Amino acid sequence: MIQDLLGSIASTQAYRRFAAEKTSRTVLYLFFIALIFTVGGSIAMQLRIGPVVDQTFSWLAAEVPALTFSAGKVTSAEPAAKRLVHPQAPEVAVMIDTARTEPVTLQLMQESKVLAYLTNNALYIEQQQGKIEIYDLSKAALERPMVVDAKFFREAAGALKKVVYPLAILTVFVFAAAWTAFAGLMYALVGMLLQSVGGGALGFGALYQIAIHAQTTALLARIVMSFLPFVVPLSGLLTIVITSVYLWMAVKANAAAAAETSAI
């Protein structure tokens, strides 16, 4: 697979071999580059999101007063209302007022500039279009009291890394493989158009195998861009251009090979 990877990037002649290789090898290469994308994307995600998640849970552990959920009600170690604001995202704010039993209105939440409001018996979360989602805590059936404190948030952070991160990695791999396979169909059609201009008589299957390999450089570029501290303008268009250039070179190489064969 490493040889195929290097050939996809640096050798137009390798695309003559890709056009004639077995379908099973192309499928294997598809999973190989999807794995590379997953590894690179996961590292980038850890570097970008990991510190934010750790900081958020540390903030919650330090700022949220100990809360006890029992018998459909919430009590707090600090009865006075407390407004919490995320240190890195001031638009993310929560009000905790466990002494309040009256319903919370949208106007009150907007005046308090909070996205969520926790009272003695309900949790209010502002949704889009100016609506409030209400979770009636009195209907929550807990077998025993649940305490939300600093220890809870530390354990939650550990659980997130053990469960959510592996699930995210699996999701990225499946998405990368599916998207590359689907994009290969589109690029194979582009390859047929390029053949009408540059010559060649490859079938759709061969063009599809070429298209899978032609996406390699663009995929690696995507990985590099995920590590950059800024967003690359028109990155989607850039990957399409890169892949199309490789398709054109592959079509030309196979057309030249066919011309040599017919001349002999």
Residues of the domain holding 178: 2-51+161-263
For 122, the enclosing helix (H) or strand (E) is strand 122-127
Is residue 87 in a domain? yes
Question: Same domain for 105 and 139?
Answer: yes
SS3 track for 56-109: HHHHHHHHCCCEEEECCEEEECCCCCEEEECCCCCCCEEEECCCCCCCCCHHHH
Supply the pLDDT for residue 258.
61
Question: Same domain for 69 and 140?
Answer: yes
pTM tops 0.75: no
Question: Same domain for 82 and 41?
Answer: no
> Count of domains in the chain?
2
Question: Same domain for 92 and 221?
Answer: no
Is residue 156 in a domain? no
Supply the pLDDT for residue 31.
92
Is residue 155 in a domain? no
**In the listed set 123, 148, 173, which residue is the last one of a domain according to the structure?**
148
For the chain, 264 residues long, the average pLDDT of each consecutive 10-residue run is 82 81 88 90 78 79 83 81 82 86 86 88 82 81 76 81 79 90 90 77 85 90 84 85 88 71 54
Is residue 236 in a domain? yes
Question: Same domain for 119 and 179?
Answer: no
Supply the pLDDT for residue 182.
92
**In the listed set 148, 179, 194, which residue is the last one of a domain according to the structure?**
148
Is residue 57 in a domain? no
